[in-house]
Every structure is written in C-alpha cells, then in structure tokens.
Amino acid sequence: MAKKVATIDDNPEFLQLIKDILEKEGYEVVCCVGSLRAHETIKETRPDLILLDIMMPGRSGWELLDILRLDPDTANIPVIVTTGVRAATARLRTQAYDLLKKPFDVDDLLAKVEKAIGKP
C-alpha cells in the first residue's frame, strides 16, 4: 500500500502541484483546501505525513498544528511546514518535523518527504 500524504493549503493550484509531483513518485495524496476541515480530514484519512501551509485565512497552520499535537490520534504524524515566511523557522524547531520553503525545489520536496516517511 502506498504511503499517504495529506497536503493542507489555501491555494488550490499549489495543492494540485504537490499532488501531481507526489503521485508521480507513487505516494497517495489527500488535499485539503484551507484548514477549517483539515483536522477532521486527517483523522478520517490517517496520513503518514502532513504538508501544512502556515499562512491561511480562518485558522492558521500554527493553530491547526497545535490542535493536531494535542489530539492523541494525530499527535505523532510528522508535519512538514510549507511557507514563504522566514519567521517560521524558530517555532518550527519545537513543533514541526521539517520546513519546506516556498517556492520550493521538487528535489527538496521529495527528499524531505522520503526522509520523513520513506519511499512509497
């Protein structure tokens, strides 16, 4: 069975790009537009890894990450934060598995995903 990656971002084009790249490599990808239903989707789909945008309207990625870390069902899922904001680096060290800076390099994305959960 392919390893599953959940991607959460408010930009549908970014989600489609990530989905296309990871599915081509053999990963199963679940996309969430925005963060409001993301917690429920993650609990339902049980991904092996989460790619989480930080800057989103409604509920920020940091708020969602706090919720995920407090829930025993999702607390141990590795999270790679995706952002173009440099300020994310300090907080990242305490809560997220890794950081993927936007715009990203495809090889960097694949290396981080493989490091977190292995090959599909």
Measured CA distances, 39 to 23, 46, 69 (Å): 22, 10, 11
For the CA atoms of 70, 74, 77, 78, the dihedral, rounded to the nearest 10 degrees, stands at: -40
Give all domains of the chain, ordered by start, each with its CATH number: 4-113 (3.40.50.2300)
- Could you tell me the pTM of the whole model? 0.90
* Of the candidates 71, 96, 93, 68, the residue with the CA atom closest to the CA atom of residue 81: 96
Query: Residue 33, exposed/middle/buried by CB under 10 A (0-12, 13-18, 19+)?
Result: middle
Structure tokens at 31: 């996309």
29 φ/ψ sector (left φ>0, alpha ψ -120 to 50, else beta): beta
pLDDT per position in the chain (120 positions), as tens?
789 999 999 999 999 999 999 999 999 999 999 999 999 999 999 999 999 998 898 899 989 999 999 999 999 999 999 887 665 565 565 578 888 888 899 999 999 999 999 999
